[in-house]
Every structure is written in C-alpha cells, then in structure tokens.
Amino acid sequence: MFNKNIKYALALNICAVLTISQGCKKSFLDVPPQAQQPSVEFFKTQEDATKAVNSIYANLREWKQTAFAPMAVESLGSDETEKGSSEGDATYMNAYDNFTVSATDGQLQDFWNGQYQSIQLCNQVLDNVPGIDMDAGLKSRYLAEAKFVRAYNYFRLVRAFGDVVLRLHLPKDASEYNLPRTPKAEVWAAIETDLTDAAAVLPQNYGSADVGRATKGAALALHAKVAMYQKKWGDVLTYTNQVMGMGYTLFPNFEQSFRIANENNSESVFEIQAKSLPGIKDASTSQYSQIQGVRGQSGGGWGFNVPTQALADAFETGDPRRDATIIFRGETTPEGDAIAATGDNPRYNQKSYVPFNVPFVQNEGEDQNVRVIRYAEVLLMNAEAANETGDATKALADLELVRARARNGNNAVLPKVTTTDKDALRTAIWHERQVELAMEFDRYFDVIRQGRAQAIFGPKGWKPNKNEVWPVPQNEIDLSAGVLTQNPNY
Amino acid sequence: MKRIYTISGLLLLFTFFTTAVLAQNVTVKGKVSDAKTGEALIGVTVGVKGTTTGTQTDVNGAYTINAASNATLQVSYIGYTTQDIVISGRTSIDVRLQSATNELQGVVVVGYGTQRKLDVTGSVASVKGEDISKQASTNAISSLQGKVAGVQITNNGSPGSSPEIRIRGLGTVYGNANPLYVVDGVWFDDISFLNPNDIENISILKDASSESIYGVRAANGVVLVTTKKGKGNASISYNAYAGWQKVTNQPQLANASEYATLINELNGKNTFADPASLGTGTDWLNVVLRDAFTMKHDLTVSGSTEKSSYSFSAGYLKQQGVVTGNDYDRITAHLQQDVQATNFLRLGYNAVLQSSKSKDIPGGVIYKAFTAAPVVPVFYADGSYGDPNDYPVGNIPNNPKAQLDFFNQKSNNYRVTGNVFAELKLVKFLTFKTSFGGEFGQGEVLSYNPVYQATTTQFNKISDLDVSRAEVRNWIWENTLTFDKTFGKHHLTVLAGQSAQRYKAYSISASAQNVPNTSDGDQYLTLGSNDTANPRSVSDGGSLATYQSFFGRVNYSFADKYLLNASFRADGSSKFIGNERWGYFPSIGAGWVISNEEFMKDQHIFDNLKIRGSWGKIGNASVPANLSTLLVNQKAGFTAVYNNEPATGANITQIVPPITYWERGVGTDVGLEMAFLSNKLTFEADYYKKETQQAIFAIPVLGSLGTDGGTIIGNQATFRNQGFEFALGWRDNVGKDFSYSVNGNFSINNNKVLNTVTGANPIYAGGGAATGGQLSTRTIVGQPIGEFYGLVVDGVFQTTAEIASSIQPDAKPGDFKYKDLNNDNKIDAKDRAVIGNPNPKYLYGLNTSFNYKEFDLSVDFQGVGGVDVYNANLGLRYGSENFTKDFYDNRWHGAGTSNTYPSANIGGGQNYKPSSFYVESGAYFRVRNLQLGYTLPSALASKLFMKRLRVYANAQNAFNSFKYRGFNPEIGGSATNAGIDNGVYPLYATYNFGVNVTF
C-alpha cells in the first residue's frame, strides 16, 4: 500500500542521514585552536623570533621583576631603606628589614618565580630561534640579547639564594621538571659564559628604533659586576676598561638624569624600558615608580621602600646627590611638586620619582625606566678593581670623575679624594657606591659582597652564616617533594 | 491480516516481526481527565494491554481505539498513576487519572525519553515545576536546594551568579563541574536564563548508568528540564509576587572606637590619641547594602485546539541587588506549539526568549565595605568624600561609597534558544524523531569611567569608554529511532540515535579615551580620541567545539518483575586529538520488583518492594579545548618598548602534557525502593560509588619551570565519591479537609583520592592572597581531595618570658603558639597537618506541606554537615583593614586576655599562615522556604470570572543557623581550592507576597 511505502522510504532515509553524518565526522571534528596560535606554528619566521625577543624585554618591567619582590629581596635588608607606607600596610615586608623572614613568605616565591619566568622566555628563544631560517646576523644578535637577560636573571638569583636550579634549556620532558639546586660556582660560571657570548655579538649601539636593547657595553658592565661579586679583580678591570673605551659619559645633571626626558642618556648602560601606553593599557605594567611614589598625594604612589635617616646622614655635607636621591617631606621638587608637610613617611625615593602631573593609564609613574647599570657604576667598579690590583692612581681618577659630576661645578663640596692607602681608598670607593647608587637596589648585596654585613646590618638582626642568602621558597621545596633543600639555618 | 516489515540499515541491525491477530474488535472512545481538577489530559497513552495497539489522547483528552471486547486498556501518563481498565464490551470509557501518589506507576523523564518509575534501574529524581516556581528564587536550580538526596546546591557568590550544583560529590576538578542541562533536548552549561515559571518538570539523573546515554558530557550528572506544554481548554494564568531581599546573618564589624583601639594595638603606639572619642563612626556595610525590592509577573496563555497544543508565556522580573545601585531586569518569553499534522506525523517547537539588562556594581565592593576604616566618614561636612588618606590608616581600602558612585557599567543579554522537532510514527511501534535546536545569544557590556577626583587616591584623569560584545552560536541536531513493543509479558524498548553539536563563542571589546559625557548619546567609541597619545584599542577572542555522537539503548522487562536496561554511547569531540578523540560509554542496569512476584501476592506489608543495581561509564569534556596543544601567548604585557615605541611581543609560557585523555567516570549504584501502608509511606535508599579516573586539572608546578600561572594541566588523579542516599516520604489525609505530606532526604558522601600522577607526593594548592601566598590545601592518596593543610595552633603567647623559653623566639606576645608536630624543636613547614575537609559529608532536607480546606502551608528545611570552611578573610590583611566585632571582643590584648584569638597583628608575623585557627565548621541548618497560601473557594472565584485565585506569603532563607564566623558558610569553589572563604558575599533572605490566578 502506498502509505506503507512512504513509511518504508522514510525509514531508509533515516539510515541515510545517520550514515552521511558519520561520513562527515572527520572534518566536522577537526577544529583548530581559536584565537591562539598553536606553538607548532611559532618560531618559524624571523618575525616570530622578533616577537619572542620583545617578550623578554617587556617581561623585565613586570611586577615580580621591578616591584614588591625586588624591594623585599634586594632592597629592604639594607641600611638605606625601610618598608615605609602606612605603618600597618604590608607589615610582612618588615620581616626583610629585621631578618625574621621565613621560607613561606610570598615575596620570596614571587622573586624566584619572576626570575625563572624570564629565564624560561630566554630559553624559548635560545632553544628555538637557532632553527629559524632568518637573517644570520639578526639571529645571532637575538640569541646574544637573550643570553644577556638570562645572565641578569641568574645573577639576581644567585645573589639572593646561593645555589639555585640552573636551567639552560627548556625541559625535554617530565623527567627534567624537578631539578636539584646547582652549586653556586657552576651558576656563576654559566652566567659568565652567557655574558662572554653576549658581549662577543652585541653591537655597541643601536639605531634609534632599537634603543633599549642590550648592548655590548651592557654585557661587559654586567660581566664586570658578576666578576666583582667573585672578587675576580683582573676581570673586572678588563671588562670595565673595555666599557670605558666605548664613549659613555656621565650625564651632567645627576638629579635630571633620573627623569623621563633623560632616559637612555649618555650614561645609560642598561635600562629596563617602560612607557605609558594608553592604547595598550595592559602593556603599561611597570609599578616600579608607583610602589615607591609619594604616599597620600594625587599622582604620587604607595610610599614603600623609603630612604632611612642613615642614608640621609651618609652623604657628605653639601653633596647635591642627597637632595637628588631623597624627597624630603615638606620640600618642593625641582619639577614643582609640593610635598605635603605632614604624612606617613618623612622621606621618599627621588630616583624613581615621576612628577605628579605625568599622565598614566594603569599605575602612577608607569613611564619610568629602571636604571639597571649606569656608567657611574662602571667607573666605580673600575676604581675598586684598580685599587685592589694596586693602581691607586687609576682608582682615584675614576672616583674623581664620579665626584666631579656630583659636584656639578660647586667646588665647595665633595673634595677630591687623594688617599692612596689601599684600605682607606677602598672605604672611600665603597662610600661612593653607597651615595652614588643609593636607592637603586644595589646596597644590600653590595655590603654582603664587601663582607661588612654583620657590622652594618647586624644591629638590625642580620646573622652571619644565615643571612648571606634568603631562604628558598617553601612552596618550591614542597612541590619538589624534597629534591630542593633549604639554605642553612632557615 | 499478517504483515512483515524488515528494515535494515547501518545502525539498525534488528529485524522484528509483529503479529496482530484480532477477532472480535470493538471501537472504544472516551476522554481522559485529571481526577482532581477534571482538566482534559493530552497525549495520554491508551494502549491495549498485551498488544502493540495504542494511541494517544488528542488535545481535548479524547481517544479512540480498536480492541478486543474482552481486552484490557492501559492508560498511562507522566506524573499519573497508570490505570488498567477491562473493556468488558463497553464502547465508551472515560478515565480519570490520579496524579501519581504512588510514584512507582508514575512516569519519569529519562535521557531521550520517558520511563515508568517501575522500569527505572538507575537513580533518577524528579521535581515538579510547581515546587520550583513557587519559591522566590529567580534561578530554577537554586530552588532545588534540599529537595533531592545527594544533590548539593551552593548558593554563594554575588547576586545574579548561578548556584553551584554537585551531584553525588565532586565529579570533576578542572573546568566546569556543573552538570549537563538538557532543556527540551538542547544542551546547556547553565540555565539561569530560564524562567522557573516555564518549567514543567526537572529530572535529575544521579547514577552513571542513567547518565551514560549522555556520554562525554555526563560526568557531573545530567539535569533534564521539560518546559510547559499547553493542555485542556484555553486558559490564562497570571502569577505574580513582590517583596524584598534583606541581608541576614551579617557579622557585626568593629565600630570606630573599637577599630581605633585595634589599630593602636596593631601599631604598638597611639596612632589614634583617644579611640573612645571616635564613637561608632561609619558602618560601611550599611552604606553599601540595602533592603532590595524585587517583583515578578508571569502571564501564560495555553490550551489546545483540534490538532495542536500551545503555550505562550511572558515573564517580567525586576530585582534590585542588595548592593546599592545594582539593578536587574529580565523579560522572558516561552513559546510552545505542537501539531499533529497527519496521523503519523507530529511537528512542534519550543522556544525561550530572554532579554535582560543590569546596572552593575564594581567587583569586590562588599569586601571593600567589609575592610574600610569606620573612622572615615562617608562624606565630610562640605559634601566631599571622606578620604582615608586624611586618617592614619593608609589608603587600602579606599572609600567604598566613592567607588560605587563612580562606577558606571551596564550589561544587556539577549538569548533565543529552543528546538523544532518532527516525530514520525513509522509503524505503531517504531517512531523516528528528529530535533534541531540551538542557542543564539548576545551579551553587551558598556562601561564608562569618567574623569573624577573623589579622594586623594581615588581618581581618574582620562575618561575611558569600554564596549564589549559577546555572542554564542550553538546548535544541536539529534535523530532517534525508538522501537517500543510488548510481546506477551515481554516489553522491549530499543532506542538508536545520532547527534551532532557545534558550540561557537566570539567576543570583541574595544575602548577609547576622552569620550565626552553629556548624555547617553555620547557613548560611542568614535567620539573618543584617536591619536598616538590616546589611541583606541580593540581585542577579541573565541572558542569553537564540535561533537559527533552515536548512541543506543535497550530496555527490557518481563511481567513487570524483571528489568534489564543497557545503553552505549560513542562520542567524538574536537577538544581532543588523535586516538583520544573518541570515547565509548557503556552502561547496564537490572531490577527486580519483588512485590510483583506471585509469592508476594498474599502479603500486606509491602505495596512495593524493588531492588535495582546499575553500572555505567561516563565522560567529561567540560575542559578547555586543545589541552595538549602548546599555544603562543601574545599578551599585552609582552609588548616591548624601544625608544618609547611599542613592539608586539609573544612567546610560549606554558608546559602542556604530551597527551590529555578523556576524564572518565565509572559508577555503580544499588537501590532499594519500598512502599507501605497503601503507598502512604515510601522509602528509597541508594548506595553509590563513583570514580573519576584520570581527572583533568591544573596542579601547581615548580616555579623554576617559569610557566605563566605556575600550573600544568593534565590527567592528574583518580578519585572516588561513595555514599548513601535515603529518601523517606509520608503522605496522608485526615478527614476530607486536611491532607499533608512530609518528605525527608539524607545523604552521606565520602571523597577519597585513589591515586595521583605525583605518586606519593601530595598536590598542594589553595594558595593566594587569602592565605598570604601559602598553599593551604593538600591532595594526597587515601585522603579527601583538597583537604586544608597547615599548622596547628596550640594557644597564644602571653608574655615575653613565655616566648623566650619557647621554640618560636621571633614571636611576640599575642602571636599564635604552634604545635611542633615533628618534635624537632622548631616550627616550620614540616609541622603542618590536615586541619579540615572542605568536602561536605552530610546533606539533608525536609520538605513538608499541609492543606486544610482553603489554606496551604509548606515548610522546607535544609542543611549541610560534616564540612569545614577556611575563613581566609580573618588573616587577609595588608594594613589597616577593619576587624569584626567578634575579633575585637575575643582578641588577645595583654597577658591573660585570650588563649585562642591572637593580637590585632593577626595578619602579620607568622599569624597569617594557614593554621587550624582559620578552619571552622561550615555546617548549617536553615528554613529554606516557608509559604502560607489561601485559595478562594471556587464558587467565589467564578463570581470574579476566575477559575482559581490563590494568594500567598513566602519567606526564603528566613532562618539560618550556623556557627561560622563569616558571612555565609556556603563557599564552594574549585576542587583543590574549595571552601576557602576569601570573598564576602552576604546571605540574604527574601520575603514576598504573591498571587496565582487562572482564568
């Protein structure tokens, strides 16, 4: 019957529908990742290599690299700063000032993670860019830039923790996830290898479109500092002498050299580049200036990491760098900001200061570059190495260059240092480092390197055979299931 | 007459014969109606018992059937007791069906069909629409709280957020742990867009065998929602309520003088010279919170004509949030039509339309109010905002009122969902159904940040307009073939089906600076700056996933005594690659209705006695796509700056596991169903065991790997939930005026980790600002997932002398004294222990209803026990945040003042570390819903041209009892971070008055 035939046909039709859709399944289920590039497509072109190297530089200005974690680990232990801000705000920071910090404090983990995140980005470039078919010169420069940053990160890690996990390649598989700590001597050696490689390739200068990238001078200067921490005075001399032949000069006005308009000036050896980018809000990530900015004033900041009275007292009478380094409560800055007469803290960091009327989209002062290595420090390293190797004349000449610039034409202050006594000259150079590099996150580890930590930091709790390094973050030890060990006496 | 059909195909490999030999046939006609209301029932199945002959009632409830004059008619309908009627030569038989007091004969909705409760071998719970819509909840799922054994509903989070639902414990760790919702055949992750008034029935599939037919989406349970259909004569009904929401069980905070006292103690000096003089100050919670008005109107027109049924409804909801300035408006429409086109073809559709708009509030504003200093006024005398910077309290937190006032964000959501279907009766016992459904949604957010200066630190110098659009385009196409036939005492149902699904989402957002703000007409990006200093920006994102599935099921029963069900589903998903793309999900179940056995015939104890058991496999694909594909991260933070010019950066910042497998679930269920005393007393008990194998989740990895986020996602662990569920019901009438029912349910769940990829090493998680960055949970083999893990507090140091002789030399008086669990004379990470379990052990509910003449009363109780909460708000302090009054009253402030609470320095020293002090019981008990109604006598109502008029008063969450010191012990959260309370979401009660009218 007709009716029955229709039903029969429909039944067959169902089977057809089921069959067809089954046949389609392959293409229907193949969906590429949406809005994110799979990595197999990355590291294929020169443009990919460029982007990856960009990420390394960009990441350097991020919170864990420039804000609270470095403040805790690299600054607060010193005698030049204290926590600042409101008394009750972020009191855990005090534990870095009085050396009661335990392995579980979050800033340790942040510092650790921040450095390793940067190292991971560098390792991506170092492992993957060699295989890209691209301009050979650019390729080797990119690799050198990545090595410079990686060396900078390991330098910060080895200073802070001693033995650390040394990762010079991406983990091949899960068996390389959980690595033990490498003795610090090997870490120092790896840093030196990276810096030697980098200095061999990096250019002395870049065209204007590339200002801010690591240069040969930056690699040599950092290498000198790395050598200085190991007391390899001959190497310090060698590297700093090279840098001194590259045409760097001290910027005439010390105070002005820290302003936004004078970023990447003739004195700048390496700066972490930052910029307020209204069109790319989330790229305006630097909080370096904000956390140290004048508290309680519009356009200022949070008021952490403030200079101590001890620092203010460390400057020689009339040293213009005192006023250029410290914002005193009640003063009016050279840029015209009146600092209120009363408030939470008596002093603030002037080197990270950004005038209150500079616009920002995310964080006050997000425009401010971080001065990592200035030529003044190169001169002081050269001076110290010269003195240690018996060349007091050279040391005095270097020292005088730094003091002369600070003097800024006023011969009534900062008399020329003339002593040729090795110990006295060393003390003078160390003092010069203290005031020249004040508030630049150098002092804490510098004093430990000098072997004077117990004398200088002891009164506020620093203990030998313990506080030379910070504890390894407890979470990291937990996650390693015991593969990582804790530093002694923590 | 004898006919043979043979149908064969790739998927239909069954051949069957049908024989229908009828001698003395009569044509029986009649109507089927509801025994109580007299309303005609449409679509009732009227069959001839022991044959394949059957029909359905039409829109007037009428049927016509040919049957042997001595045959027995079987009349069955969802929610009603099936009746057997011997024809005895009659030609006209009207049937009045009793709604299913005996649930066994009732029909329940299961995956891709319905079953008599008797035939079910798994664990399926049904909740009627009226039990959902009568509550004040605007979200249907929220109304299920306490109604069903083994189903945990957590109503936490900000107003408007969807509740968390866990069926038989935690089924998955990563991604969406909520169940699959199937609304009229269309699949959803969330049904908050549904108007509870449009729901006819909710069926919850709890055991793996029932869920298995939904394969890879079923691991967290399946909730089947059937929307309303028109039936009977045309009717108009109007339901409305109005009322208010009021924050309840709000913890008291320290007032200004108490706060100043605490800050002085914290700073160890007189930051405030004279705390007592400060008085009570500002109660910031009261500034931010309010009694919020809410109302809802629903109008439904439904009915049926000769060939079709229809139901059209419109609903309007207006809900103010309990936070000042938060408003939500929702308009919903539900359209349903159903046409019997020919005697073998039925066509129909369901559609839900929703449009909502809200005025949003800044995230965390309640937390800001919780922490704001009470010494700061809302406004100064001159009308300017109270500025925390004018007080020695720091600027964290800022002035919450200013934050609210300058927040300007509006959201709109539009959605159309539904399906169209065609059902073709090929022969009497073979039905083909095709259903095409989908979801078409759009979300819009417009946010404008004006130029303002409220306080020293709360200001904005450049105005900013952000606009975003998100769209969802999903479809699902399913085809099923159902064979349903009775051979003597054998009843066989076979289902075969195929499904294809596609889920696509896309969002785009853009922003511009310096947009003028003179009227709403200005809110266009194009009016903003577009130069290098203030360029416009745009970004987008999206996702796409597809599924392809084949499934089949066989249900067999013999003489209503022996039951056997088996199903199989094959699912392919675009989210997985290679050999892991396809997953296969079998299930099997068996049941024995002992009370239908011959030997039980003469006993009078059991009206029903049934045992059943089932086993099934299920999967979980509610994880992000392409888990094993390493992706490139091109975030804005990677934009480098050279010479002050931006340069796009990208890199790889994650590690992925080489292969990610399906997350697989395997579950067994054994159940016992009993009814006594003429079905007045019913009892149902279930034992279940459910394993989630190769659970996918993110575990923290070593920081030295340098990944962004510090986690690696993959198949990390296998864990098990097992437990018991009990449901006991009693219903009875006393005289003709009074009837009542009491239904209680109780469930016990135990969660245990069976293995982890880290082997004997624990998986630590639960870190974050709330715990001072400390990992506060531990997941280890043999223990529940995500246990709280920390130090054990052993009192509080009273004096410096006590500290000097202790092993915590850095402590100060008022600091916690910790237990040296490993006896190594120092307190460190090795002294941590399990300090609590966030997985609830007991859930219970008691639902009662009483009817006396025109009055009705229902009271629902509900609670959770055997659960811990980590009260992270106590120790989460950056500076001068406010404290609770409880803390003020109990704190240590000098030798001998407290040996349990620390000093005001609770957020400093070692006091903030995860410890037993912060772990509290999360148990609670509440009167979930209380409703008293009065129905006008029908004689009186008809004078008012109404069929029915009922008025009621309702209170939800009116009474809550818990010991927890925070706002609300219902915390929830993802598996390894569950139960950590680091937000502040107040609990609120809703009081309203309503009316139900039918014309």
* Among B590, B642, B592, CA closest to B616: B590
* Among A487, A102, A488, CA closest to B827: A102
Q: Give the alpha-carbon dihedral of A51, A53, A56, A61, to 10 degrees.
A: -70
Nearest C-alpha in A relative to B708: A117
Q: What is the pLDDT of residue B104?
A: 57
Tell whether the model's pLDDT for residue B21 goes beyond 70.
Answer: no
Facing residue for B632 by CB, picked from A18, A37, A164: A37
Which pair of tokens denotes residue B689? Answer: 């065991």
- List B residues 107-136 in contact with A (Cβ-Cβ < 8 A): none
Nearest C-alpha in B relative to A43: B651
Q: What is the pLDDT of residue B428?
A: 86
- List A residues 293-312 in contact with B (Cβ-Cβ < 8 A): 295-298
* B423 strand-pairing partners: B346, B433
Average pLDDT over residues B670-698: 90
Rounded to whole angstroms, the Cα distance separating B225 from B181 reads 7
**What would the DSSP string read from start to end of B125-153?**
EEEEHHHHHTSS-SSTGGGGTTTSTTEEE
Answer for the pair B164, B172: CB distance below 8 angstroms, yes or no.
no
Q: What is the pLDDT of residue B139?
A: 85
Rounded to whole angstroms, the Cα distance separating B61 from B304 reads 10
Residue with the larger pLDDT of the pair B775 and B213: B213
Rounded to whole angstroms, the Cα distance separating B232 from B998 reads 13
Average pLDDT over residues B529-551: 88
Read off the pLDDT of residues B26-75 as tens digits, 9 standing for 90 and up. 888 888 887 766 777 877 888 887 776 778 888 778 888 888 888 888 88
Q: pLDDT grade, residue A13 (50/70/90)?
A: very low
- List B residues 835-894 in contact with A (Cβ-Cβ < 8 A): 877-880
Task: Provide the 3-class DSSP secondary structure of residue B26.
Answer: strand
Tell whether the model's pLDDT for residue B3 goes beyond 60.
Answer: no
ipTM greater than 0.95: no
Answer for the pair B900, B890: CB distance below 8 angstroms, yes or no.
yes
> Given the DSSP bridges, would you call strands B222-227 and B180-183 parallel, antiparallel or unpaired?
parallel
Determine the residue among B504, B705, B716, B816 to mutate to test chain A binding: the one whose Cβ has the most chain A Cβ atoms within 10 Å: B705
For A172-186, B165-179, B217-231, B355-369, which range has the lowest pLDDT when averaged over its residues? B165-179
Answer for the pair A339, A332: CB distance below 8 angstroms, yes or no.
yes
Average pLDDT over residues B225-244: 90
Instruction: Please indicate if any CB of chain B lies within 8 Å of the CB of A261.
Output: no
How many CB atoms are located within 10 Å of the residue B466 CB?
A: 17
Determine the residue among A51, A177, A285, A487 to mutate to test chain B binding: the one whose Cβ has the most chain B Cβ atoms within 10 Å: A51
Q: Which helix (H) or strand (E) holds B422?
A: strand B409-427
Average pLDDT over residues B670-690: 93
Q: What is the pLDDT of residue B223?
A: 95
Domain ranges of chain B: 631-659
Q: Which residues of A touch B913 (CB under 8 A)?
A: 104
Q: What is the pLDDT of residue B590?
A: 96
Q: Which amino acid is at A75?
A: S
**Cβ separation of A88 and B544 shorter than 8 Å?**
no
Q: pLDDT grade, residue B375 (50/70/90)?
A: very high
Task: Provide the 3-class DSSP secondary structure of residue B900.
Answer: coil
Instruction: Please indicate if any CB of chain B lies within 8 Å of the CB of A332.
Output: no
- List B residues 415-434 in contact with A (Cβ-Cβ < 8 A): 424, 426-427, 430, 432, 434
Read off the pLDDT of residues B256-302 as tens digits, 9 standing for 90 and up. 999 999 999 998 889 899 999 999 999 999 999 999 999 999 999 99
Q: pLDDT grade, residue A20 (50/70/90)?
A: very low
- List B residues 703-762 in contact with A (Cβ-Cβ < 8 A): 703-708, 710, 758, 761-762
**What would the DSSP string read from start to end of B564-605?**
EEEEEEEEEETTS-GGGSEEEEEEEEEEEEGGGSGGGTT--S
Which pair of tokens denotes residue B550? Answer: 């084949």
Task: Return all residues near B826 (Cβ < 8 A) that are at least 6 apart.
Answer: B807, B820
How many CB atoms are located within 10 Å of the residue B653 CB?
A: 21
For the ranges A446-460, B321-335, B756-770, the maximum mean pLDDT occurs at: A446-460
* Among B769, B770, B786, CA closest to B778: B786
Answer for the pair B960, B966: CB distance below 8 angstroms, yes or no.
no
Determine the residue among B424, B550, B702, B831 to mutate to test chain A binding: the one whose Cβ has the most chain A Cβ atoms within 10 Å: B702
* Among B244, B246, B358, B254, CA closest to B296: B244
Residue A45, CA distances (Å) to A50, A66, A161, B356 in order? 9, 31, 38, 47
> How far is the alpha carbon of B549 from chain A, nearest alpha carbon, in Å?
9
Tell whether the model's pLDDT for residue A19 goes beyond 60.
Answer: no
Rounded to whole angstroms, the Cα distance separating B931 from A21 reads 51
Q: What is the pLDDT of residue A470?
A: 98
**Cβ separation of B535 and A278 shorter than 8 Å?**
yes
Q: What is the pLDDT of residue A129?
A: 97
* B734 strand-pairing partners: B738
Determine the residue among A89, A177, A367 to mutate to test chain B binding: the one whose Cβ has the most chain B Cβ atoms within 10 Å: A89
Q: What is the pLDDT of residue B158?
A: 58
**Cβ separation of A21 and B453 shorter than 8 Å?**
no
Tell whether the model's pLDDT for residue A12 goes beyond 70.
Answer: no
| CB burial of residue B383 (10 Å; 0-12, 13-18, 19+) | exposed
> How far is the alpha carbon of B380 from chain A, nearest alpha carbon, in Å?
18
Answer for the pair B729, B674: CB distance below 8 angstroms, yes or no.
no
Rounded to whole angstroms, the Cα distance separating A353 from A291 reads 10
Rounded to whole angstroms, the Cα distance separating B820 from B833 reads 11
Q: What is the pLDDT of residue B6?
A: 34
- What is this structure's pTM? 0.79
**What would the DSSP string read from start to end of B908-948?**
STTTTSSBGGGEEE--EEEEEEEEEEEE--HHHHHHTT-SE
How many CB atoms are located within 10 Å of the residue B69 CB?
A: 14
**Cβ separation of B479 and A17 shorter than 8 Å?**
yes
Nearest C-alpha in B relative to A27: B574
Please, what's the b/e burial string for A289-318 (b: 16 or more CB within 10 A of its CB; e: otherwise)?
bbbbbbbbbbbbbbbbbbbbeebbebbeee
**Cβ separation of A11 and B535 shorter than 8 Å?**
no
Instruction: Please indicate if any CB of chain A lies within 8 Å of the CB of B533.
Output: yes
Q: What is the pLDDT of residue B712?
A: 80
**Cβ separation of A30 and B574 shorter than 8 Å?**
yes
How many CB atoms are located within 10 Å of the residue A161 CB?
A: 23
Tell whether the model's pLDDT for residue A163 goes beyond 80.
Answer: yes
Average pLDDT over residues B633-654: 92
Rounded to whole angstroms, the Cα distance separating B504 from B180 reads 17
* Among B916, B917, B921, CA closest to B868: B921
Cis ω before A33 (30° cut-off from 0): no
Residue with the larger pLDDT of the pair B552 and B695: B552
Q: What is the pLDDT of residue B667?
A: 94
Facing residue for A86 by CB, picked from B11, B392, B643: B392
* Among A195, A225, A232, CA closest to A440: A225
Determine the residue among A39, A50, A111, A175 to mutate to test chain B binding: the one whose Cβ has the most chain B Cβ atoms within 10 Å: A39
Instruction: Please indicate if any CB of chain B lies within 8 Å of the CB of A168.
Output: no
Rounded to whole angstroms, the Cα distance separating A149 from A215 reads 11
In the block, tokens 């008399």 appear at: A415
**Cβ separation of A58 and B910 shorter than 8 Å?**
no
Rounded to whole angstroms, the Cα distance separating B491 from B505 reads 44
Facing residue for A54 by CB, picked from B540, B572, B647: B647
**Helix axis angle, A422-436 relative to A375-388, nearest 10°?**
170
**Cβ separation of B640 and A55 shorter than 8 Å?**
yes
Q: Which residues of B touch A157 (CB under 8 A)?
A: none
Query: Positive or negative, the Cα torsion across A235, A239, A245, A250?
Result: negative
Q: Which residues of B touch A125 (CB under 8 A)?
A: 651
Q: pLDDT grade, residue B1 (50/70/90)?
A: very low
Read off the pLDDT of residues B770-779 as tens digits, 9 standing for 90 and up. 666 677 888 8
* Among B743, B779, B738, CA closest to B758: B779
**What would the DSSP string read from start to end of B143-193?**
GGTTTSTTEEEE--SSTTPPPEEEESS---SSS--SPEEEETTEEES--TT
Rounded to whole angstroms, the Cα distance separating B973 from B964 reads 17
How many CB pairs below 8 Å do chains A and B form together?
A: 327
Answer for the pair B486, B525: CB distance below 8 angstroms, yes or no.
no
For A12-21, A82-91, B124-133, which range has the lowest pLDDT when averaged over its residues? A12-21
Instruction: Give long-range contacts, CB 8 A cutoff, 24+ apart: A197-206.
Output: A197/A143, A197/A144, A197/A147, A198/A144, A198/A145, A198/A147, A198/A148, A198/A151, A199/A223, A199/A239, A200/A144, A201/A140, A201/A141, A201/A143, A201/A144, A202/A141, A202/A144, A202/A145, A202/A148, A203/A141, A204/A246
How many CB atoms are located within 10 Å of the residue B349 CB?
A: 17
Nearest C-alpha in A relative to B500: A21
Tell whether the model's pLDDT for residue A16 goes beyond 50.
Answer: no
Indicate the length of chain A as a whole number: 490
> How far is the alpha carbon of A193 from chain B, nearest alpha carbon, in Å?
21
* Among B5, B102, B13, CA closest to B675: B102
**Where are the strands (E) in A89-161, listed by range?**
none
Nearest C-alpha in A relative to B582: A29
Determine the residue among A12, A104, A483 to mutate to test chain B binding: the one whose Cβ has the most chain B Cβ atoms within 10 Å: A104
Check whether domain A42-202+452-490 has CATH 1.25.40.390, yes or no = yes
**Cβ separation of A209 and B642 shorter than 8 Å?**
yes
Q: What is the pLDDT of residue B737?
A: 87
Read off the pLDDT of residues A381-428 as tens digits, 9 standing for 90 and up. 999 999 999 999 999 999 999 999 999 889 999 999 999 999 999 999
Rounded to whole angstroms, the Cα distance separating A427 from A429 reads 5
**Cβ separation of B639 and A280 shorter than 8 Å?**
yes
Task: Provide the 3-class DSSP secondary structure of residue B870.
Answer: strand
Instruction: Please indicate if any CB of chain B lies within 8 Å of the CB of A10.
Output: yes
Task: Return all residues near B549 (Cβ < 8 A) that are at least 6 apart.
Answer: B215, B216, B498, B499, B500, B501, B569, B570, B571, B572
Mean per-residue pLDDT of chain B: 88
Task: Return all residues near B726 (Cβ < 8 A) that are at least 6 apart.
Answer: B149, B683, B684, B685, B686, B745, B746, B747
Helix, strand and coil content of chain A, in percent to the nearest 5, comes to 55, 5, 40
Answer for the pair A429, A423: CB distance below 8 angstroms, yes or no.
no
Task: Return all residues near B1 (Cβ < 8 A) that are at least 6 apart.
Answer: B20, B21
* Among B541, B491, B537, CA closest to B512: B537
